[in-house]
Amino acid sequence: MNSDRFLLPAPVEALLWKLGRLLFHVVGLAWQLFMVAPLIIVVVVSFTSASYLMFPPPGYSLDWYREVLSLSWIRSAVTSSLIIATCATLIAVVIGVLASRVLAKRPFRGRGLVEYLVLSPLFLPGVVIGFAIFNVLVMIQMDRVAMPQMIIAHVMITLPFVIRSVWASMAGADISLEEAAQSLGATPAQTFWHVVLKSARPGILAGAILAFTFSFNDVTISIFLTSSRVTTLPVQLVSHIEYNPDPSPAAISTLMIAITLALFVFLARIGGLNAFLER
């Protein structure tokens, strides 16, 4: 048929095919190593017995964890980071779900503008947003109310993550499910609860996970809003690294990794992650 088509001899082709697959695996493995290796090094180094950073460590101990846990700011920083991330996530999910519902419904005048507005924090540099929020807070003399301002700022920056994932799952939802529910006697409120939220559950969970981790790990915005009373773990970590050339930052980093991992394990336990991965 295609007599003029150039074909490699079959054995050569088979060999190339095998080489290609090998290359694929090698690249995949290298990529994973590249992603994970630095983290593994940090975790390993945090258990060192030496008072300087060195890999592999000359000996192992829990000295640096003891050191870190005795730091005056560590408890309050972890607590406020958790409170801020939890509150910001909850608020962002509530607002995000409602906003997504509006956006996923029929088009309205100015919808394009609303889309850009709610997603704009994704495109803008965090430093710019942090600086802007800081200025506004100073202007309205709110910069002394530590915790709420931090939460509001975090809602602002995490909202796009929630909206993006919830909106995606709502936009793909089957409208006839809502009509079926209504024909079966469900009021709009019941339909929203039993059908709209249930259908969007994977998107909501995915958005919440993204929002929480982003809020929990954020430095660029929080750094403008920290005060002597309220600070977050990553912000403290940054300033700690600046003044302490010892392995204690590695211990703090390991703690942060542990908290984030614990969150994912918890979500996997309650089945949330399954729903997240399934769709």
Tokens read off for 273: 């992650």
> From residue 173, how far is each of 169, 177, 179, 206 by CA, in Å?
6, 8, 12, 16
* Cross-strand pairs, 60: 48
Kindly indicate which of the ranges 6-14, 30-38, 138-146, 187-195 contains the residues binding another protein, using the contact rule CB under 8 A.
187-195
Q: Does 190 bind another protein (CB under 8 A)?
A: yes
Residue 60 carries which DSSP code? B
Length in residues, the chain: 279
Instruction: Choose which of 49, 61, 187, 239 interacts with another protein (CB under 8 A).
Output: 187
Q: Which stretch binds another protein (CB under 8 A): 14-22, 65-73, 146-154, 178-186?
A: 178-186
User: DSSP readout, 35-53?
Assistant: HHHHHHHHHHHHTBSSSS-
Q: How many angstroms from the chain centroid is the CA of residue 46?
A: 24
Q: Are 160 and 121 in contact (CB under 8 A)?
A: yes
The nearest distance, CB 48 to another protein, in angstroms, is: 49
Cα–Cα distance for residue pair 253/262, rounded to 1 Å: 14
**Segment lying near another protein (by CB under 8 A), choices 43-51, 144-152, 193-201, 228-236:** 193-201
Give the 3-state secondary structure of residue 226: coil
Q: Which stretch binds another protein (CB under 8 A): 24-32, 90-98, 117-125, 194-202?
A: 194-202
- Residue 155 neighbours by CB under 8 Å, 6+ apart: 88, 91, 92, 95
Q: Is 168 in the site for another protein (CB under 8 A)?
A: no
Q: How far is the CB of 188 from another protein (least distance, A)?
A: 8
Q: CA-to-CA distance for 241 and 244, rounded, in angstroms?
A: 5
The verdict on 250 binding another protein (CB under 8 A) reads no
Q: Which stretch binds another protein (CB under 8 A): 41-49, 91-99, 153-161, 179-187?
A: 179-187
Which of 181, 196, 230, 235 forms a contact with another protein (CB under 8 A)?
181
Q: Which of 183, 228, 242, 269 binds another protein (CB under 8 A)?
A: 183
Binding test (CB under 8 A) with another protein, winner from 182, 220, 226, 260? 182
195 counts as binding another protein under rule CB under 8 A: yes
Binding-site ranges for another protein (CB under 8 A): 174, 176-177, 179-188, 190-191, 194-195, 198-199, 201
